[in-house]
Chains A and B, each alone.
Chain A
Amino acid sequence: DIQMTQSPSSLSASVRDRVTITCRASQGISNSLAWYQQKPGKAPKLLLHAASTLESGAPSRFSGSGSGTDYTLTISSLQPEDSATYYCQQSYGLPWTFGHGTKVEIK
């Protein structure tokens, strides 16, 4: 199975800060990487797929990058509504696996 390691597990940042979350796969996944946002008590929401393709309706302050085994989700200017847990997920090989999540809090 492909293991997905996210870091940090949590962070606290101020409104308008630039925030970066990283995700490392245990083997190369050829940009088959998605990012989801989940707020408490709600289902996850897809933000990006193919490492950097922003989903329709997702704010443009979210961006993704990376290649091989290392990927990054960046929030260019953190907003109060971005308080949530973020998960990466690889779709390169079965079983599809998720990172353990990064909880983003607003200071």
Chain B
Amino acid sequence: EVQLVESGGGLVQPGGSLRLSCAASGFTFSSYEMNWVRQAPGKGLEWVSYISSSGTTIHYADSVKGRFTISRDNAKNSLYLQMNSLRAEDTAVYYCARSIYSGIVGYWGQGTLVTVSS
């Protein structure tokens, strides 16, 4: 069974940093493209970042480019999102998401809430 378990969310002040982690199990992690997708409270879904199976290709939404960094450790079956210079508008539930085809998310974690507030 595919499992994606996020951790690392919490309350952070504007301008602060946070690192999200996603532990993957139940599939060959190194074979799949991964993403982070977020959802602000009461709002819709926003794709945040993509990383290829090998980690060599990475893409970001313009809203986070230059502030967020996606990475993965295939030996540890883990996905990460380093978030710097956080803003109030980054407040959201962040989902770790496995692609089934490029751009299509077939599996989602339960999400981790990031709150940016003073």
A: residues with CB less than 8 A from B are: 1, 32, 34, 36, 38, 43-46, 49, 55, 87, 89-92, 94-101
* Contact of B61 with A49 in the complex, beta carbons under 8 Å: no
Instruction: Determine the distance from Cα of A70 to Cα of B67 in the docked complex, in whole angstroms.
Output: 35
Q: Is the interface of B mostly helix, strand, loop or mixed?
A: strand
**Which residues does chain A contribute within 8 Å of B45, judged by CB atoms?**
36, 38, 44, 87, 89, 98, 101
Q: Which of A1, A43, A95 is the one whose CB lies under 8 Å from B109?
A: A43
Beyond A43-B108, A43-B111, A44-B108, whether A98 also contacts B47 by CB under 8 A is yes
* Contact of B108 with A32 in the complex, beta carbons under 8 Å: no
Instruction: Determine the distance from Cα of A92 to Cα of B47 in the docked complex, in whole angstroms.
Output: 13
How many B residues have CB within 8 A of the partner chain? 20
Q: Is the interface of A mostly helix, strand, loop or mixed?
A: loop
Residue B11 interfacial (CB < 8 Å) = no
Which chain B residues in 78-102 approach chain A with CB under 8 Å?
95, 100-102
**Which residues does chain A contribute within 8 Å of B47, judged by CB atoms?**
89, 95-98
CB of A31 to closest CB in B, whole Å:
12
